[in-house]
Structure 1
Amino acid sequence: MALFDSLLGPVTRIIDKVVPDPDARDRAKLELLRLENSRELEMLQASLSAVVAEAGSADPWTSRARPGFLYVMYLVILWSIPMGLLAAISPERAAAVGRGMTDYLAAIPEPLYALFGTGYLGYSAMRQWGKTRGSDR
């Protein structure tokens, strides 16, 4: 896609110089933009096809991934209640638990976070697209 984007500007300048008729020039540029848009759409569909396949899967582990992640996030947020109580009783222990959790999360490699975020956002986007099309409930 980056190669196509880098060629788009020079090709439009060539069209401006080579095609004398303004209407033909505009049609050529419009066709070039259509080509770019269809290519981008094809790339998007290819990159998200795995997400769509997982969303339609009958496998309970796969189909429950999104709600499972939300439950984990709820648990992390609710964990603040016992941590607040621990901080009231023993602030140094609460600080040690917080440092331990921070060190653990910092030890997870950045590409793993990026992979998870990309997959989760892709799944959410395709789910929303399916809802707007009316194929998902």
Structure 2
Amino acid sequence: MSLTIPVIDGLLDIGGKLIDRVFPDPEQAAKAKAELVTLQQRGELKELETRMSAILAEANSSDPWTSRARPSFMYVIYLMILASIPMGILHAVNPEAAVSIAEGMKAWLAAIPDSLWTLFGVGYVGYATARSVDKRSILKGKG
């Protein structure tokens, strides 16, 4: 119960701040804040609270696969981009070695079956899309 009240209070605080930005008219903002409190009193924020708790639990998880899956993927991409710098220098010094390394990487990546690339792409895009839609629905109050 101690987690529930701070989460709801935090949501009401965030909601109030968003309302202040969206509604410049103080009268409209007051009506929107009253509606937010009414929703909270009717218990309609319970589902939103549950979703927020799940997102926070995932982010704070001690399991590295859960808490670092997306950042780890981005780090791999960053590493690939940053690797182009020494490869460019190597190409200036020894073009044959740079070409050989690039061909080796190309052959290694080509050895991964197309179905595995498709599975990864669909899974990653689907996950990212589902999270975006979920976050948008939370922000719009469709809970």
1:65 partnered with 2:74: no
Q: TM-score, normalised by structure 1?
A: 0.55
Structure scoring higher RCO (CA < 8 A, sep ≥ 6) equals 1
- Counterpart of 1:134? 138
- Counterpart of 2:113? 109
Count of residues in Structure 1 that have an aligned counterpart in Structure 2: 83
Please show how residues 82-121 of structure 1 align to structure 2 within 5 Å.
82-121=86-125
Moved over 6 A (4+): none
Q: Which amino acid aligns with 2:137?
A: R
How far apart in 2 are the matches of 1:130 and 1:60? 23
1:77 partnered with 2:81: yes
CA deviations on 1:6-31 (whole Å, 9 max, x unpaired) are: xxxxxxxxxxxxxxxxxxxxxxxxxx
Q: TM-score, normalised by structure 2?
A: 0.53
How far apart in 2 are the matches of 1:82 and 1:99? 16
Q: Identity, % of aligned pairs?
A: 54
CA deviations on 1:96-132 (whole Å, 9 max, x unpaired) are: 0010000000001111101111110111011101210
Find the structure with the greater CA-based Rg.
1
CA displacement at 1:56 relative to structure 2: 6.5
Q: Which amino acid aligns with 2:102?
A: G
How far apart in 1 are the matches of 2:89 and 2:72? 27
RMSD between aligned residues: 2.2
CA displacement at 1:66 relative to structure 2: 1.2
